[in-house]
Amino acid sequence: MLRNLCDTHVHTLFSRHAYSTVEEDVRAAAERGLELVGITDHYSAMISSEIRPLEYQHLFNFGVIPRRWMGVRVLRGAEADIIDLEGHLFGHGMQFDRMLTGDVWVSPFTLEEQALKDVDYAIASVHGRDFTRDATPAQVTDMYVRALAHPKVLMLGHIGRTGLPYELGPIVRAARELGKMLEINEHSFDFGKPGDARRAATMSRCRGLAEACAEAGVMIAVNTDAHISFDIGRFAHALQMLEEIHFPEELLATRSAEAFIGAVGRAIAAFEDEGAR
Ligand SMILES: [Zn+2]
Ligand SMILES: [Zn+2]
């Protein structure tokens, strides 16, 4: 039986449509026997209609979050929106010269640089899809490949559920070359109504993705995408699918804290694990 001891895509109140605190998420992870939790709130236009540093200040003070809490390793992340077909992330090129206090900063910075400066890793996901309306599968593929190449992006979030048409081959090859991973997201398995065509299509895309990763030797992360602490560590459907296809355990990056932290350290520029704080 595959064991998955990290949940590296979970949300807190700072995502606004989520309902738990960091502490509640960590406690839930401890209670579920997890070794590691990665806090990945939305870094996205979903947070505010105002695009300015003030709205994203929960990403600027990660240093206060203990690296070990209730026996659980805690990583600091963000789920960053992909905002165009070039694969740019939210806040790209948006320059500011004032920080939270209103004082002029030493030199101008982009929101993207500031928001992702202190994350251990980012998950790149598409939520707002208007910009993809006329995109071809080749364009979507290229968008995902470019997003994955961002120095802070460790994985693409829920590409099976987003529903955009893509070509699996180039995405899987890019993940392998970059030492990065693709996500199997438990929430994709309860998306839509049971038995409806949309859920069936999502599930078959997720299975195809996992099979392609197994074949190519690409790591996957199995995450809950919990928007409330109750859901943390509940991966049953994703793990059952992986069992069915005999997914190789060594490619499951979230199988242990050691495996996941090692993968982050190899893939993300400037990642430092400080150990116990
Ligand atoms: Zn998402
Ligand atoms: Zn999410």
The two structure tokens encoding residue 106 = 């030493």
C-alpha 62 to ligand 2 mean position (Å): 18
C-alpha 9 to ligand 2 mean position (Å): 6
Q: Is residue 274 part of a domain?
A: no
Query: What's the number of domains the chain is made of?
Result: 1
Q: Is residue 241 part of a domain?
A: yes
C-alpha 10 to ligand 2 mean position (Å): 6
The two structure tokens encoding residue 90 = 């939210």
pLDDT at 107: 86
Q: Are 7 and 34 in contact (CB under 8 A)?
A: yes
Beta bridge partners of 74: 37
Q: Which domain holds residue 257?
A: 6-267
Residue type, 229: S
The two structure tokens encoding residue 89 = 């992330």
C-alpha 227 to ligand 1 mean position (Å): 10
| Ligand that lies nearest to the alpha carbon of residue 8, given by its number in the listed order | 2
Q: Helices 197-216 and 236-244: crossing angle, nearest 10°?
A: 60
> Rg for the chain (alpha carbons), in Å?
18
CA-based torsion, 227, 115, 179, 66: positive or negative: negative
pLDDT at 192: 77
C-alpha 101 to ligand 1 mean position (Å): 30
* CA 263 centroid distance within chain: 14
CATH number, position 167: 3.20.20.140
| Per-residue H/E/C for 104-143 | EEEEEEEHHHHHHCCCCEEEEECCCCHHHCCCCHHHHHHH
139 burial via Cβ count (<10 Å: 0-12, 13-18, 19+): middle
Q: Is residue 272 part of a domain?
A: no
Q: Which residues surround ligand 2, an ion (CB under 5 A)?
A: 79, 225
Name which of 86, 71, 211 is nearest 147 in CA terms.
86
Distance CA 57, CA 276 (A): 24
Q: pLDDT 10s digit of each residue in the chain, 277 long? A: 899 999 999 999 999 999 999 999 999 999 999 999 999 999 999 999 999 999 999 999 999 999 999 999 999 999 999 999 999 999 999 999 888 888 888 888 999 999 999 999 999 999 999 999 999 999 999 999 999 999 999 999 999 999 999 999 999 999 999 999 999 999 999 877 888 888 889 999 999 999 999 999 999 999 999 999 999 999 999 999 999 999 999 999 999 999 999 999 999 987 777 654 4
C-alpha 93 to ligand 1 mean position (Å): 22
Q: Is residue 74 part of a domain?
A: yes
pLDDT at 105: 83
Distance CA 247, CA 211 (A): 7
Q: Is residue 275 part of a domain?
A: no
pLDDT at 190: 85
| Ligand that lies nearest to the alpha carbon of residue 40, given by its number in the listed order | 2
Q: Check residue 82 and give left, alpha or beta (phi > 0: left; psi -120 to 50: alpha).
A: beta
pLDDT at 275: 54
Q: Is residue 138 part of a domain?
A: yes
| Ligand that lies nearest to the alpha carbon of residue 41, given by its number in the listed order | 2
Q: Is residue 218 part of a domain?
A: yes
Dihedral angle computed from the Cα positions of residues 25, 243, 140 and 164, in that order, rounded to the nearest 10 degrees: -80
Distance CA 81, CA 147 (A): 10
Q: Are 181 and 218 in contact (CB under 8 A)?
A: yes
